[in-house]
Amino acid sequence: MYTVKLKKNEEKRIMGGHPWIYANEVLKIEGKDVQGSIARVESFEGKFIGYGMINHHSKIIIRIISRDETPVDREFFFKRIKAANDYRVNLGYADNYRVVFGESDFLPGLIVDKYGDYLSTQFLALGMEIRKDMIVEILTEIFQPKGIYERDDVSVREKEGLPEFKGTIYGSVPETVEIEENGLRMLVDLEHGQKTGYFLDQKENRDNLKFYVKGKEVLDCFCNVGGFSLCASKYGAKSVMAVDISESAIEMVKKHAEMNGFTNISTLKADVFEQLRLFRSENRKFDVIVLDPPAFTKSADTVKEGYRGYVDINTQALKILNHGGFLVTCSCSQHLTMELFLNMIKESVQNAKVDAKIVELRLQGKDHATLIGADESLYLKVAVIYNE
């Protein structure tokens, strides 16, 4: 086993709950083992800090997985995965939800999502990759799934020295999987869908539209496959217009509307930035507008540019929002902090020259809980804004 000794005072952040140790925080490494193995981590004074998965090829050289002396073996992983699932089940999750959320479930680099009888996984750290077979065994033991699909077609694996990959790793997986979300029938494409197939983190926020849409004209921007649109229709919207630049996403919205018997959802394939300006030129307004864009900033060095994009899109939306209407605005970028998110809203309101107030501030779903001490796990911010 490797023993990793930290430089003086570098353990403070780790003791505060953060699970990552960077290579430049390490004083020395003693012992021998293989990459991805479990290493013992000690402070400069020799105090035990925890066990972590080691990878010399990554800037994150250690990912803490345990803070006590418990052996990190198969039983350890079984108990961790079962505990993560039990937490969700006890909150009422059943058909589709995030089972394991990496560091937040003390299983760094592992993502497991449940879609009905199927699981979708990501192994984002070397330590999890070399334990893949064991983890798949545990998942089949706990869930008895019909199939498990791996969605490791993500660039973050390159930082771990791992190739991108996607494919079925257990059983068989159909082209689409039907799930029930918020009482609605939906199809999920595990191979081509967003993230592991679908944006599960917005489930509760989509359902939250029930407070705002009854009898209203709703505009759903960046609609993806229609989660917000369907909930708006379900909860009595007068009309819903779903806008996305993706032709495949628009086709799925139509399919989902048909599956659920909704006839008040129209679709529009368009660039949202351009379409909002076109609506304004046409003096077209809406009672409720949903903005759920992709992350405009995915790294620390693009925050300023991404911030301007958020301000622009929110300003344009507020300009076509009726008085007495609601804007539901989202950011899924961890780099746009809550402070920046609130500043963005303030600047957008000022630019649009409207009088507005924040009705709600919301986060990602309870199955994506944030690990205290690891701000990276708090990424989704949602605000409901009322236009006076």
Q: Closest Cα partner for 234 from 273, 192, 186? A: 186
Spatial CB neighbours of 274, under 8 Å, sequence gap ≥ 6: none
Separation of alpha carbons 282 and 290, rounded Å = 19
- Residue 16 has a CB neighbour count (10 Å cut-off) of 10
Judged on CB neighbours under 10 Å (0-12, 13-18, 19+), 98 is buried
- Tell me, yes or no, if 330 is annotated catalytic: no
Q: Closest Cα partner for 153 from 111, 182, 202? A: 111
Separation of alpha carbons 22 and 4, rounded Å = 11
Place of tokens 């008085």: 323
Q: What one-letter code names the amino acid at 383?
A: A
Judged on CB neighbours under 10 Å (0-12, 13-18, 19+), 142 is middle
Pairing of strands 110-115, 96-101: antiparallel
Query: Of these residues, 221, 223, 231, 332, which one is catalytic?
Result: 332
Structure tokens at 156: 């973050």
Spatial CB neighbours of 240, under 8 Å, sequence gap ≥ 6: 218, 219, 220, 229, 232, 233, 264, 265, 266
Cβ pair 130, 101 in contact under 8 A: no
Separation of alpha carbons 198 and 91, rounded Å = 20
Separation of alpha carbons 121 and 128, rounded Å = 11
- Catalytic residues, by residue number, are 332
